[in-house]
Structure 1
Amino acid sequence: MSTVQTLRIFLFYLLLSSSAFLWCTLSVFVAPFLPFRARYRFVVQNWCRCATWLAKVVIGIRYEIKGLENIPEQPCVILAKHQSTWETFFLCGFFEPLSQVVKRELLYVPFFGWAMAMLKPIAIDRSNPKAALKQLAKIGHERLGQGAWVLVFPEGTRIPPGQIGKFSRGGASLAVNANLPVLPIAHNAGEFWPKQGWGKTAGTIQVVIGPLMHANGTGPRAIAELNERAFAWVSQAQRDIGSLDAQSPALETPASV
């Protein structure tokens, strides 16, 4: 990595962390007086868009989106590939309001966690997978009923480019029980913003939004079939953008929702 790129990355993190501290601190005092949608825009959407803008201007990480015509008017369950931190910023800034599955412990972090708690996240106990699934089903259904998108990373953890993790059925189950479709999303953000380390590479991230997928019926079989269909689409889309090895098997990932 060149000295110039190293300096760019340092500047990026300096600006990102400074803006996060200021934004979260301000949000704690302003957000409680705003209705939920305005609160989401103020606390999350604007800052996440700021983060992707900083990545673009300072580091040179741009993005292109395909499949915008597939986004429905009514919010539904988003099943997205997970490779890096970038897609969390992007998706939270692009869809609004959006409720995301987070670790319950994050809500206890001063300022950051307090601000997050006001945004109706789906806070789960990852140490107890069975309880986490029940929490996702109950709280996720409530969020969808309130008109929020629900973002689920079905792999449960960030998987490096070239690989894919098995999909948990939690997101598909939520969609089926709410009688809503899932919206699959593929991307190659991990090639420019890796899971490990601070290093970043300039380039253009490809984001592909797939067609809406509805379940064929109800019950466990319909959930499993919808989940497999979403996994198959994301896998093929990852191959099409060159971010999944041709013969790469699905990896076993930590118990997740």
Structure 2
Amino acid sequence: MSPVQSVRTALFYLLLALSACFWCILSVFVAPLLPFRARYRFVNQTWCRFAVWLAKVLVGIRYEVKGLENIPRQPCVILAKHQSTWETFFLSALFEPLSQVLKRELLHIPFFGWAMAMLSPIAIDRNNPKAALKQLAKQGHERLQKGAWVLIFPEGTRIPAGQIGKFSRGGAALAVNANLPVLPVAHNAGEFWPKEGWGKRPGTIQVVIGPSLHAEGSGPRAIAELNDRAFAWVAQAQREIGALRADATPTESVEPT
């Protein structure tokens, strides 16, 4: 990374942190006065759009999206590739209102966690996978019934660029039990915003939103088949945008997401 890019990246992190502190403090006082959808827009969507814009202006991370026409009108379960923090910002800004699976510990962070708690996230304990799966099934279904999208990273953790993790079945099970489709999303954000290190590389992220995938039937077999189709679509889309090595083999996912 060049000295200029290093300075730009450091400035990006500084402004991102300052904006997060300011916006979370403001949100703690303003958000409780707003209905849920307006609260989501104020707390999360506005700031996430700012974060994506800041990455574009300061470190040169742009993006192109294909498949916007595939987004259904009715909220469903989003199964997205996970490589960096960028896609969390982008997807939170694109879909609203959106409920996201996150670590319970994040809600304990002053102001940031308090603001997040007002957005009805699915805050799980990753040290208790069985309980987390039950929580995902129950709360995820409730969020969908209330008209919120549910974002799940089925690999369970950020996977380095060029690789792919196995998909856990929690997201597919949630969709099947709610009689809703899954919406697969592929991208190559990790090439410009890597999992490891603080460096950022300028370039254009390719985001591909796939067609809605519906289960064929119900029960465990239908869940497994839908999960396999979602994985196959994401893997193929990753290959088509040059974001998956030819010799890549799926790594084990981290439950429950």
Q: Structure 1 length as normaliser, TM-score? A: 0.99
Alpha-carbon deviations, 1:73-94, whole Å to 9, x = none?
0000000000000000000011
Alpha-carbon deviations, 1:102-134, whole Å to 9, x = none?
111111110000000000001111111110000
Please tell me whether the aligned partners of residues 154 and 253 of structure 2 are also in contact (alpha carbons under 8 angstroms).
no
**How many residues are matched?**
257
Q: Match for 1:58: what amino acid?
A: L
Distance of 2:148 and 2:187 partners within structure 1: 22
1:22 equivalent in structure 2: 22
1:168 equivalent in structure 2: 168
1:136 equivalent in structure 2: 136
Q: Name structure 1 gaps, 5 residues minimum.
A: none
SS of the residue aligned with 1:216? coil
Deviation at 1:2, TM superposition (A): 1.0
Give yes or no for the alignment of 1:47 onto 2:67: no
Distance of 2:158 and 2:247 partners within structure 1: 19
1:7 equivalent in structure 2: 7
Q: Match for 1:204: what amino acid?
A: T
Deviation at 1:158, TM superposition (A): 0.3
2:72 equivalent in structure 1: 72
Distance of 1:183 and 1:232 partners within structure 2: 13
1:255 equivalent in structure 2: 255
Deviation at 1:255, TM superposition (A): 3.0
1:184 equivalent in structure 2: 184
Distance of 2:144 and 2:60 partners within structure 1: 35
Deviation at 1:212, TM superposition (A): 0.4
Give yes or no for the alignment of 1:82 onto 2:82: yes
SS of the residue aligned with 2:179? coil
Deviation at 1:253, TM superposition (A): 2.8
Residue identity over aligned pairs, in percent, reads 78
Alpha-carbon deviations, 1:52-73, whole Å to 9, x = none?
0000011100000001110000
Please tell me whether the aligned partners of residues 78 and 185 of structure 2 are also in contact (alpha carbons under 8 angstroms).
yes
Distance of 1:69 and 1:110 partners within structure 2: 39
Please tell me whether the aligned partners of residues 155 and 256 of structure 1 are also in contact (alpha carbons under 8 angstroms).
no
Alpha-carbon deviations, 1:183-237, whole Å to 9, x = none?
0000000000000111000000000000100000000000000000000000000
Q: Match for 2:188: what amino acid?
A: N
Deviation at 1:246, TM superposition (A): 1.4
1:153 equivalent in structure 2: 153
Deviation at 1:256, TM superposition (A): 2.7
Distance of 1:109 and 1:204 partners within structure 2: 32
What is the aligned-residue RMSD (CA, Å)? 0.6
